[in-house]
Amino acid sequence: MSADQYPTPQKSPSPVQTTSTARIVPLTCHGHSRPVTHLSFSQFVDDNYFLISACKDGNPMLRDGITGDWIGTFIGHKGAVWQARLSRNAHLAATASADFSAKIWDAFTGETLQTLQHNHIVRCVTFSPDDTQISTGGPEKKLRIYDLNKPDATEIGPGAHNGTIRTVSWSGANPNIVVSGSEDKYIRWWDVRKRDIVSAYMVDEPLASCEFSTDGKILNVSAGKSVYFFDGVSGGLLKSVKTEYDCATVTLDAPTRKFVTGGSQDTWVRVYDFDSGKELEVNKGHHGHIWSASFSPDGNLYATGSEDGTIKLWKYTAQPYGLWQ
């Protein structure tokens, strides 16, 4: 698929942000005591959505996605939490930890429902689109699929990964496709039913992040100073952009054809034009490197998580929204 055919999925109506709206002061969410390593939004639930954060303090937190208000903390891990995700309906949470476990939580009560033991650090975790399965990965170089109704895991592609699996994401466009990204610089698309590889792509620099867009159709990848955008199902490269800065994370808002990055070279959040690759805005506010960025499901804001232990919510609409009234 060419850049001209790039999909533009629909979202809730909201005027596109102008340069001036980016200067509105972001909301700052405190509570973590160490670097925030990963952020993930739920889909809409009763006209609202939620945000979960992973942190090296070992205590993932649940927040109101629009206001950033703290809802609760998941207590139980004995090591840093590298990734945290919510099911689409926000009923469940999943976390990946340095304590050699992944946990499934009741997002309403904070109760641990399942602890999935591994033989090494669990670096990443993700839900299937129907929330009945999760996938995990880490330094064991094993991509595992767990049916939440069964105790045993299924390994996909034994021996395929030649480095730590840093991230795993499930396609929202095709529930049979799960994508892994590892330190061997390869991104791999897997067919869960056949347990076989569909496509693979090797990036030029060490992989940093690999996440689907909110509609599950576009895979956003950051590696070194480059960002890549792939068709989420076929693995075809839609576009790559070489920036001047390290990109530890990238998130795309498809309707406005803009993407946001953060990195380990400075404390700034950058907004780029998808078509030209031109840097449009530089947003300042964090006091540490940016490790994670994610657009909300309606595209009206995006969240960033930093080495400084804070989460910031940045308004991304010209209209009044949330606490920006």
Domain spanning 29-315 has what CATH number? 2.130.10.10
Token output for 303: 């969240």
Predicted local distance difference test score (pLDDT) of residue 23: 63
Percentage of the chain modeled with pLDDT above 90? 86
Predicted local distance difference test score (pLDDT) of residue 11: 40
β-sheet bridge partners, residue 252: 259
pLDDT tens for each residue of 186-214: 999 999 999 999 999 999 999 999 999 88
Predicted local distance difference test score (pLDDT) of residue 150: 87
**pTM metric for this prediction:** 0.91
pLDDT tens for each residue of 12-22: 434 344 444 44
Eight-state DSSP code of residue 19: G
How many angstroms separate the CA atoms of 156 and 142, rounded?
A: 7
Stretch 255-273: mean pLDDT, rounded? Answer: 95
Predicted local distance difference test score (pLDDT) of residue 232: 87
Stretch 258-273: mean pLDDT, rounded? Answer: 96
Mean pLDDT of the chain: 92
pLDDT tens for each residue of 139-173: 999 999 999 998 789 999 999 999 999 999 998 88
How many angstroms separate the CA atoms of 313 and 323, rounded?
A: 10
